[in-house]
Structure 1
């Protein structure tokens, strides 16, 4: 037993030392620039804010993107009817105002005057109607089609081939008026209109070139946000310039943005330290830990509504067995993972729903539903033996199983810690495999995995945003887990405006999910970033990456 504890401690210490070495490498760089010199100082007087984006996007089309590595860019190129402002308050954006019917079933949006696309075309309510109906076109196969089919009248029937597009409750009454009819009262529908799937697209551009969003250099990338994309140098960077046709262009102080597509945390930190980046998002854990300890004024600790987890492919043995899944979850030490490896102020997960969302009694939903995560090594051993026996398998069969994660030093160390904890506490030996993030996303969607690293950031401020992706028919349900009672509870919550009924249903649904454990919640996210002292106006909504719309780079 002593040797096992020493071995685990050694692995954890090695993780921290390696991360510290990576973070410290930049401090010894021979080409480090003078303090205060930033990327913008190389741009001939123009203000180009440069930052990192950890992965190559699969697309920049709002209707089909599915991750923060894509939305980080897209939210700067497009704007929806609503958005979150600098105080994280939901406010009208492309909309000037809205009205909600007394029964909560009809929303009427009035658009602002003079809206234009980046190419000068008028932007009208018809663009929103086209964009939203495009999302639910079965031929597009949008992973986020459920954000409309779940709520909008007639949308699900059309998507499933049982209804007409003309019966979908999305209609431009005139150039400035959009009417949306819902199936049931949805208290968070306004939040959904700020989500990237419901951003508008230009029908003329999309119809002319179905690949319009894959390569901006082959066609003009037309958008309606504060910036427009001018270059996408794949695996290298994405460049944007100020959109003079943006409705609030007079408030935009930057001339442009550059997102480097860079997975390596060490290189990214070197660029920040060398003055090549003005902002560094999600630095390596050891870098964040050092900044926390030294009270570095450049460290900004952003709040997040998200959970870091590992998902099982519940169609593959032995992970189809609930006892095996629960055993692997129970054998983890989340506190050690958070404090010794992640090191970014994260909280050990207590369920799938993080802190920060209120229930009907205005109490934090997480606190009200309690800690649903159990850590018990002895019980884990019993459950694993029972589960393997039920599947006619032995411990040796697990040696052929693999945990997949995307290339990133922090993900690697966490995966290694899980591997060692399972080996020490259960005698389980699993393989590890790393890959590019987009490849991991594609493999998870195709079911080409056994256990895979994952994470989920809330799309809107309601507990449903963390639960509905695990419904049986949700395209995002990579685990393939299905539970009729869980589905029924969420459908009940979605069919009423009674907040107590909604919250009680979702609390019961979360308990069912955590009892069956199709995923292993590890911790609740935070999002640290490093930001140069002369960069101002950056803000981070709870539900998204930092926004640079009103940022500025002040002269030194």
Structure 2
């Protein structure tokens, strides 16, 4: 599995991610609560903000423009937020992030745990009028497992399905992939190995069906780029998409379960400035916004209802290991740059939103072996240490023959308020601890993703939100061939450990493999330096009900019943 949602820095977002899975935008906020009560039991007193004036409509700030809404290609949280409302798959996550059958009416699992045979409901329809059938899943899975699709998230399918890698590499025909339509409404999915989180995968965007007729008529190169260039099958439809401004979703009256919709219309705005968001909320123009630290204080003073939850996201610095002229191919230089950042001060003095210093790549909320959280079982693998940072940095300079003046480093970040604020903190830390000047390169979320994909960066401030509740969702993304490995990091031992963990049946042995891999990528090689595990606080108006926000679902309005 290789993609999570890449976080877009609108608040401290999940990847999301989205992403992923997935990557996410803005480090101001990520998710985990229902709008009727905060996940940690904290909720401000009754609000004096009734919300937007439109009946049966919620206006929610998405913060970032979704790059596209093609489930075969999507890797970010913003796109995932929209797709979650307009698409349905075999399973869906409920308000507690537990997978529940959706299109799959019945599921039978083989004795060896590898084959899932599912009978599909027969009343689901695409917005072009065609029925949703097992063939739509076969087309989707075969398409994402083709190199021609150029999906950064293809790994989450081809690494898992029987013969997936062989089909992806072209040594087997797509018909040999572990997905079969036994008839129009019976789907058989076979994995290479038993997967304990298979039902969670079935709820993920990369496992959504795709209507072949629409995909081919619209064209793969533009599918999902506009409201009229996508066919959906979910609880809502896309009625309007004004790029970089808003997306409007309308309740799908032809959907087989319309009562699950929390509201008739959802309008997602895309405000990239924190002050603009707060002003819009106070003016009754938006019903839900993420809050930064200063705004949390302001909200309390104004009596604005706020809710909080611990996100499953991890924000980190990814190094472009191909930048040999800037010393970023050297592990000690990378380690020095990472350890120079005071992550406790970052959380306490800059973020101030419930985020905590990262002690590894896998956050504290992710499940581990035998009922224990992975982080608790494995312990800490990274930490801030200014003196050690200096030593490693100087050692790296000696090893490369470079001077500090030769490096001329830059850090890529989102152009939103919090992204630039955090980058300025890193900039000051590097100057204070290592004596170097680092340039800040802010870009809109979509442009940042494009720069990352093309390797056009030295260091990037990025985040990852989990695709499923297992450490693998964070650790497989930095293998040599993973589409999310934007820094082009490569370590044969790391790759081998991840590959072995994919097939290991003993949960304790598997966890040990993953722990070794995590130490290699974050500590020994420092290709990634984790900064913090994110928390989210948001303001919500009185009118909003039945809104789910969790680390796996930044927004969901389909849990009304």
TM-score, L = length of structure 1: 0.89
Contact 2:57/2:263, CA 8 A, preserved across alignment: yes
- Residue of 313, 316, 335 corresponding to 1:309: 316
Change (3 A) 1:141 1:539: same
Q: Are positions 1:212 and 2:223 aligned together?
A: yes
* 1:520 positional shift: 1.6
Moved over 6 A (4+): none
For residues 79-478 of structure 1, the aligned pairs below 5 Å read: 79-210=88-219, 211-217=222-228, 219=229, 221-280=230-289, 282-291=290-299, 298-317=305-324, 318-398=327-407, 400-478=408-486
Contact 2:318/2:459, CA 8 A, preserved across alignment: yes
- Residue of 505, 513, 516 corresponding to 1:505: 513
User: Which ranges in structure 2 are unaligned for 5 or more consecutive residues?
Assistant: 1-27, 29-46
Residues 280-302 of structure 1: per-residue CA shift (max 9 Å, x gap):
1x2233213544x6695621112
Contact 2:360/2:381, CA 8 A, preserved across alignment: yes
* 1:37 positional shift: 4.2
User: Which ranges in structure 1 are unaligned for 5 or more consecutive residues?
Assistant: 1-18, 20-33
Residues 236-270 of structure 1: per-residue CA shift (max 9 Å, x gap):
11111111122211332422111112211211121
How far apart, CA to CA, are the structure 1 residues paired with 2:362 and 2:50?
A: 41
Residues 112-137 of structure 1: per-residue CA shift (max 9 Å, x gap):
23111233321111111111111112
Contact 2:313/2:551, CA 8 A, preserved across alignment: no
How far apart, CA to CA, are the structure 1 residues paired with 2:162 and 2:76?
A: 27
How far apart, CA to CA, are the structure 1 residues paired with 2:211 and 2:439?
A: 46
CA RMSD of aligned residues (A): 1.8
How far apart, CA to CA, are the structure 2 residues paired with 1:269 and 1:551?
A: 27
SS across alignment from 2:336: helix
How far apart, CA to CA, are the structure 2 residues paired with 1:338 and 1:289?
A: 16
* 1:35 positional shift: 4.3
SS across alignment from 2:425: helix
Contact 2:370/2:507, CA 8 A, preserved across alignment: no
Q: Are positions 1:484 and 2:492 aligned together?
A: yes
Change (3 A) 1:245 1:410: same
* 1:205 positional shift: 0.8
How far apart, CA to CA, are the structure 2 residues paired with 1:295 and 1:543?
A: 30
Map of 1:11 onto structure 2: none
Contact 2:315/2:531, CA 8 A, preserved across alignment: yes
How far apart, CA to CA, are the structure 1 residues paired with 2:83 and 2:441?
A: 30
* 1:76 positional shift: 0.8
TM-score, L = length of structure 2: 0.88
SS across alignment from 2:316: strand
Map of 2:66 onto structure 1: 57
* 1:498 positional shift: 2.1
Contact 1:535/1:551, CA 8 A, preserved across alignment: no
SS across alignment from 1:455: strand
Contact 1:154/1:168, CA 8 A, preserved across alignment: yes
Contact 1:169/1:182, CA 8 A, preserved across alignment: yes
* 1:485 positional shift: 0.9
Count of matched residue positions in the alignment of Structure 1 and Structure 2: 511
Contact 1:84/1:541, CA 8 A, preserved across alignment: no
- Could you say which structure has the larger radius of gyration? 1
How far apart, CA to CA, are the structure 2 residues paired with 1:215 and 1:256?
A: 18
